[in-house]
Each structure stands twice: as C-alpha cells, then as structure tokens.
A and B are shown apart, each in its own frame.
Chain A
C-alpha cells in the first residue's frame, strides 16, 4: 500500500479505493488458509527440516535418507508432533552418532522413536534447533555470497531480465547450454524439470543424466549448475541468475535445497499444483507457506504461475482470474515474509491473435498488473497457445509480446521461441529470439515515457473492467460456503471456481502426507524462520 501512494495518479484511471478493496478481499480470503496451514504439517515440511539439519544422501535403492527417517518416525509416533522432537530425542538417547547413522538404523528397524516429555523434550528441542539453525546459517551465508558476488562482478545490465530455458535431461549437457545461453545474453537460466517430478514424493539424489523433457531437480544438480554459472558470471562481468521449480509434492524440500545451493529464483505458485497437478489443496497450502518462508530468508525471487490459467482458459474471458490469483499470491507471499522485490507475479501474452484489438487487450492487462504491483518485478510469459507451427507468424507474435513487455516495464521476460510447440529450441531459434527482444527493447524500450493511454479509451476502460471482475470473483470466493466449516477458498477450489477443475480438499495427491499438528508439535525451522521475521 505504501507502493500505491508512491504513484500519485493512476494512468488507467483506477480508483485507489478499488485497489484497497481488492487487497482487503485477498487478505480475507487468504487468512483462513494461512490459519489452516499453521494448524497442519506435511511429510515434506518435516523432511525439509531434516535437510536443513544436514541430512542428505539416499539408500542403495535411491530413497533419500530423509524419507527413510521421516517414515520410520511416522510409523512409531505419527507425524502430528513433527519429526524433530522424536529424532533429536533418539540422538540424545544414543541411538545414533548423527542423523545419517540414525536414519540408517531407523531404516533397518533397529530404532524405536518416542515423543519425549519434560526435560527430555527440552533437550531434544534445544538440540534440534541448534542443528537446523546451522542449515539456516548456511542459507544466510549463501544470500550474503550472492550479494557480494553481484557487488563484485556486477548485476544484469538492464530490465527486463532475459530469461532463457535449458532442458536436456542431462545436467552435464545442460551446463554448456546454460553457459552458452548466458553468453548470448540470458540474465536468468531456468532448468526445466523432468516431466513428472512434481508428483514424486521424494527428491532424487545426485547428478542426473536422464530425464523426460527436462532435468531432475536435485541438490547436486543445483550445486553443479550454480558453480558453472558463477564461472560464467565472472567471465561476463554480470551475475547470471539460476531458476528452478519449488512446486509439486516436495515443494518445501526443493525450497530448502535452493536456499542451501544459492538458487536465485524459484517458480512457486500458491494454487498451481492443486489445479493443474491435482495435488491435495491442504498439502499444497501447508507446503507453500513453509517454502515461501525459506525463500524469504534466502533472498530468492519467486515466480508465480498465473500464465497457466491462460493456457487452459480463454485469455480474454479469464483475464480477471490472473489478477485474482496475483492478489492471492501477493497476500500469501507477504504473509510468509517475502518482500515486493521478491514477487515475480506471473502473467502471459495468450490472447488469440484473431481477436480484434488483441494487442490493445494484452497491453491493458499488462498495464493493470504493472499498476497494481508497482514494486514487484512481474514475470512476463510469451505466447504458447497460438503458436501454431507457422514460425513466421510466431516470430511476429513474439515481437508484439516483447513490445508489451517494453511498454509495461516487466522485470523478468521469458524469451518466446518461434518454434514453440514444434521442437525444443535450436541454437538458431534462441539467437533469433534474442535478436527479437534486443530489437524491440532498443527500438521501443523507452516508449513508456511517451505512452499514456487515454483515460476513457479502450485500454484504460478494459483494465478497470478486469479489476472490477477480479474484485467480483474475490467477493464470490469470500461468500462461498458450499463446504460448511471450510475456508471459503477451499470451497471455491472444490466447486470449480477456477476454470473447470474441481479440486475438493479431501481429494488429490499427497493427502496422506498431511497431519494436523498436536499440542506439543515442534518444528525448529518454522520457529527460526517466523521468529526472525517478526
């Protein structure tokens, strides 16, 4: 809100009271979800905590030790107290010299866990907090290292940051491709994950050389790629950022690994997993809150996934669902401690080019996002739905996409490829795409100075209309009582308010990994992350 007061007059003639109303509604809709999230834990939150305490590696079958240990604790005493107290109690009782030995013994069935009480509980609490604090300190050091490196070698020279994707499936192929992309001008490299990783309930281990349409997110892959990009950053004299995905069933663990290995941006949407991957809503909201707390601490910029709404729904009809989701993502992000500069709120250029005035509509939607979130970097996603294989038309469409990006001061621009939907980008596709971006930024990058939409013109009117519809949708969600006793947003998700996807709170993948917290629940990571935040 401090942000809106800095922009004294709206270019789009938006009433500031409407913006406040939208944010108030987002808070009212989001708050019961936050309350729900604080009352629950998940297997992945607990495993992330063990990872922060330094437990890594996997058994000979490739099952991570954090999974083995968390499963063993859960089998003995349930999940509702968290794993920290039973684990550090077992260590104090001499069941293992360290977490790894304990996990190995637990996997072999030779440790019995209990929920400690009294002095034993205090002892386990203190020890677990010390162990997890070491991991958080490592995250803090990585944040410091990023800041020092940017100060020393320099930052990306201009906005928007140019965001390019690599996705070979083999980390050792990804690295030279990523370095080449950085040399060609990428400010941000995203390593696309292997198809299907979001539904794995464990994080694969080690450097991986096989994946489907992408490369597995693993701690070692993160480390290898970050080290390679550090080299390239020094060579180029600008810090090249690295992106991956904190999404799916292991969202909190991936967030922790990203913090530990100094990733710079993470895709992390509040509802994407629910709607598009059929992951249980409660699981998602609990995991999301923890992972955002980690991102806040690690100085990681999140990228939200609003572009996905427009790949399944009509980009004109559903424009307000993007705004609604941005407002919810903003609320959840700030509640978790993220700051404006960390909010890469997503939106996309997906209107059917056959629709009359499609460019003006795109511009209206993008200007609305810019005006609602003046201090957020915003992530601008290129056309995909209407990229037909006609690469010549696609190249023109990408040019118009870049023009909207230039005119609306986007922070992060995912470079559109004319061969979208045809092949994974060739070296020439990438080069041509970057030429397109450079031409538009060079030719029209400062157009924003001169361009002011007419107050009652098509663009300003459309922007106000979309905001009005978003407020209407938030009001409708707030009033949703279709599942009594549940937060209205869960009811709304259950009855298909978002697209045609109905996702009830008691269905979906990963539900069995959710537990309501017992009275004595303890998680040192949450305590540290929330304690330092307040």
Chain B
C-alpha cells in the first residue's frame, strides 16, 4: 500500500486541483470573491479564479485552480474487490457443463417504469459491450431478456416459468432513488416467492449503484458503471457452479 498522498498538478506534493461551479449571483468582483471564499472553505488555499462568466440572469460560472491541503490515505479506502476468477466464454461454458449438466438460465430486464434497456442489452444482447460479447453468446447460457418496464410480479413469474438460475436487473433511472426502491421491492418479492435455498441468484446493475450496497438491497451482487458482460457471466458461473458442486 502506498502511504498518504495528495493531488498532483505538475510537481509532486503540489496538491493542485481544478474545480468548476456556478453561483446564483450576478458577475462582479464580489462574485469572484465569493467563488474564492467557497474554494477556500472547500480546502483550496490559495485559490485562483481563472475564469468567471455570466450565465443566464443572475448566475455566474467559475473555473478555479488551487492547492488543497488535504491528504488521502488509500489504505483506509473500502471497495468491493472482484472475488471470483474472470472466465472466457469458453471457460464459462465448460464450467457450466461440468457442474450443472444443463444450460444455466438467466432472466433479465428493467423493472419499474425504467425504459432504458441500454444496460441490460449491453450485458445480455449478443452484441455485448466494450468488445465483449453479451451473455446470449454463451452456448451454455439460456438468456431470457424481458426488456423494459417489467413489473416485479412479472419478473418473478418469468423467473419461475423459466426456472431461472439467475435474475439480472438493470436500473438506469435514479430520480427519487427509484433504482434503490425498485431493487428492494424486487429482492423482497423473490424472498417471499422462493424458499431461501431455491431462490435464484439476484444481480442488479446500473451506472448509479454503489457496489457495497448488495446486503442492504437484499441482492447477491451489485454491479456499477463500466461492468462488462464477461464480468457478469464470470460472477454468475462462479457462484452457481460452486453452489451446485457443494
């Protein structure tokens, strides 16, 4: 682990950062002073207003450069590290074949009023994401993509009907914390509908999720921005093939 660090502009230890923001005030010398004051309060000292521009009526936009006095300690940062091996599609298929002796069934969709299927499609559609093919490409995975605006009861029903081993839910819309509310509703419905040992693996993903929240949301895994199909497939295969082997 590295020790304490501070931001780097062009010299080790200079602590330089840049910041932009808008204040609801007409542009004036006072406004620029107010911007410096804000930057100071945020720990930037000295702070230099390099750009100030009126925007709309009664607003001014600022770009501020300055030195921060804070130090950060990477050894105290908490993250969810990947606790499963990354598999190629070939390896994933082989693992499913070996331990399940049937195709692994994945049911996915966007729940609630969320109509943004980009996330679920990037993971499930054969087209995939970031150069990786989606789950439909995996021979040993049976993928049922329910698409957008699936209600929680519909999702549970489809999971039962398809005998889903894993359920993937994507949530893009985050207004009023809809993604969190929907996820909790979903996990509660699955807990109610299935005995604990039979419940499919529950995986949620979306750009605004916090990966540390899985327990709080009642799901097995939370994936955040930038997750690739291969990561999702590897996780599912890891958890399910180990479960049925044990």
Chain A residues with CB under 8 Å of chain B are 169, 180, 183-184, 194-196, 198-199, 212-213, 276-278, 311-314, 389, 421, 426-428, 431-432, 500
Of all chain B residues, the one with the shortest Cβ separation from A198 is: B115
CA–CA, A498 and B230, complex, Å: 25
Asked if residues A213 and B56 are in contact (CB atoms below 8 Å), the reply is no
The minimal Cβ–Cβ distance linking B142 to chain A, given in whole angstroms, is 16
Q: A169-B175, A428-B22, A428-B61 are in contact. Are A196 and B115 (CB under 8 A)?
A: yes
Seed contacts A427-B56, A431-B53, A500-B125; 17 additional CB < 8 Å A-B pairs: A180-B56, A183-B56, A183-B57, A184-B56, A195-B116, A196-B114, A196-B115, A199-B115, A212-B173, A212-B175, A212-B176, A277-B148, A312-B125, A312-B127, A389-B225, A421-B207, A431-B61
Asked if residues B22 and A427 are in contact (CB atoms below 8 Å), the reply is yes
Q: Is the interface of B mostly helix, strand, loop or mixed?
A: loop
CA–CA, A314 and B59, complex, Å: 40
- Judge whether B55 is part of the interface by a CB distance below 8 angstroms: yes
- What are 10 inter-chain pairs, A to B, with CB distance below 8 A? A195-B115, A198-B115, A276-B117, A278-B148, A311-B118, A389-B225, A426-B22, A427-B55, A432-B61, A500-B125
Residues of A within 8 A of B53 (CB): 431
Residues of A within 8 A of B28 (CB): none
The minimal Cβ–Cβ distance linking A32 to chain B, given in whole angstroms, is 27
CA–CA, A500 and B143, complex, Å: 14
- Judge whether B212 is part of the interface by a CB distance below 8 angstroms: no
A-contacting residues, B24-67, CB 8 Å: 53, 55-57, 59, 61
Asked if residues A313 and B149 are in contact (CB atoms below 8 Å), the reply is no
Rank and list the top 7 A-B pairs by shortest CB-CB distance, nearest first. A196-B113, A431-B55, A428-B61, A428-B22, A195-B113, A195-B115, A213-B173
A-contacting residues, B140-191, CB 8 Å: 147-149, 173, 175-176, 178
Residues of B within 8 A of A199 (CB): 115, 149
Asked if residues B59 and A427 are in contact (CB atoms below 8 Å), the reply is yes
CA–CA, A421 and B172, complex, Å: 10
Residues of B within 8 A of A278 (CB): 147-148
Residues of B within 8 A of A276 (CB): 117
CA–CA, A213 and B116, complex, Å: 11
Asked if residues B175 and A213 are in contact (CB atoms below 8 Å), the reply is yes
CA–CA, A212 and B110, complex, Å: 14
- Judge whether B126 is part of the interface by a CB distance below 8 angstroms: yes
Residues of B within 8 A of A500 (CB): 125-127
* 0 or 1 for each of B97-140: is its CB under 8 Å from A? (1 = yes): 00000000000000001111110010001110000000000000
- Judge whether B88 is part of the interface by a CB distance below 8 angstroms: no
Residues of B within 8 A of A198 (CB): 115
Asked if residues A428 and B55 are in contact (CB atoms below 8 Å), the reply is yes
CA–CA, A276 and B207, complex, Å: 20
CA–CA, A198 and B149, complex, Å: 11
Point out the residue from B56, B113, B207 that lies within 8 Å of A212, measured CB to CB. Answer: B113
